[in-house]
Amino acid sequence: MQKISTCLWFDNQGEEAAKFYTSIFDNSRIINVNPMTVEFQLEGRDFMALNGGPAFNFTEAVSLVVDCSSQDEVDKYWQALTADGGEESMCGWLKDKYGLSWQIVPSVLSELLTGPDPDGAERAMQAMLQMRKLDIAELERAYKGE
């Protein structure tokens, strides 16, 4: 196990959620299941799902960020994580059907927002603020002023 890992508090759907998440991400697997916890990996990172009861719910104060190298990846993860009751939000954020917040972010976004053209960066930021799922081509057009 890695030195620091993430524990996700569920009411009683820990195993169901772990199966859902590992079905979406490559290089993922369930490691151990017992009545209280499920240990699993997503893209090689360790997580634990705790069946802790209804005392706590997820909030946007914590989110998992998925770095995407292409629009196809953005689309794939967005569609999978919003399926079956997930909710779209703004600026590449969403909640999955368990209420966990995710940010589906194209790698190029950082370059556009910190690029050498401050006006282009501002246009890209303004474009992003209008989007739900991020659109790489539209962000790039905004940066270029097209």
Q: What is the pLDDT of residues 27-55, one digit of tens each?
A: 999 999 999 999 999 999 999 999 999 99
Which residues does residue 47 pair with via DSSP β-bridges, in sequence order? 6, 40
Cβ atoms of 32 and 16 closer than 8 Å? no
Query: 112-139, pLDDT tens digit by residue?
Result: 999 999 999 999 999 999 999 999 999 9
**What is the CATH number that goes with domain 1-54?**
3.10.180.10
Beta strands in the chain (DSSP E): 6-10, 29-33, 37-42, 45-51, 63-68, 87-88, 93-95, 101-106
User: What per-residue confidence (pLDDT) applies to 1?
Assistant: 62
Extract the tokens encoding 51: 């069946």
Cβ atoms of 70 and 77 closer than 8 Å? no
CATH 3.10.180.10 residue ranges in the chain? 1-54, 58-146
Cβ neighbour number for residue 146 with a 10 Å cutoff:
8
Query: 47-76, pLDDT tens digit by residue?
Result: 999 999 999 999 999 999 999 999 999 999
User: What per-residue confidence (pLDDT) applies to 2?
Assistant: 83
CATH architecture of 58-146: Roll (3.10)
